Amino acid sequence: MPFIVWVLLLAQTNTEGSSKFRGQVTTTKASGLRVPKAIGDFIMLDILRKSGGGAVAVTDEEMIASVREVGAAEGLFVAPEGAATYAALKHLLAAKTIRPEESVVLFNTGAGVKYLECFGG
């Protein structure tokens, strides 16, 4: 089984060993990550633990920089939520949790065009 990683905003927290996600509603440019109560939190936490995975926190600034980086490299205008997965991947590579030769799947669940205000001059 591959290990699964949950990407969180830096201001969100999770109680170690809890069966529920105990996060804070926080301000972020990525509205899709502003979730007051995750419906399937107990399922996700169970999968994370069984897979040997964990959580990685990223900042809004890292998300927006990753939107630009993915756009420049791949020609995709991903949503900040999708870019959060790329920012987290960079953290995992730097920590040597993931090796560069490993296969990785990143999910982008939105379009950057919905967030034009994040990219104004």
H-run or E-run covering 84: helix 80-94
For the residues 73-93, what does the mean pLDDT come to? 93
Phi, psi of 5 (to 5 degrees): -125, 130
Annotated domain spans of the chain: 5-119
**57, β-bridge pairs:** 8
pLDDT in tens, 31-52: 777 666 667 777 877 887 888 8
Residue 121's pLDDT is 56
- Average confidence score pLDDT of the chain: 79
Residue 112 and residue 79 in contact, taking contact as beta carbons nearer than 8 Å: yes
What percent of the chain lies above the pLDDT cut of 70?
73
> What is the identity of the amino acid at 85?
T
Supply the CATH classification number for the domain 5-119. Answer: 3.40.50.1100
Confidence check: pLDDT of 58 > 90: no
Confidence check: pLDDT of 18 > 70: no
Quote the pTM value. 0.77
74 versus 33: the higher-pLDDT residue is 74
> What is the identity of the amino acid at 65?
A
Nearest CA to 92 among 46, 61, 57, 63? 57
H-run or E-run covering 55: strand 54-58
Residue 38's pLDDT is 66
Integer Cα distance of 62 and 76 in angstroms:
17
Angle at 57 between CA 17 and CA 80, to 5 degrees: 130
Quote the DSSP letter at residue 56. E
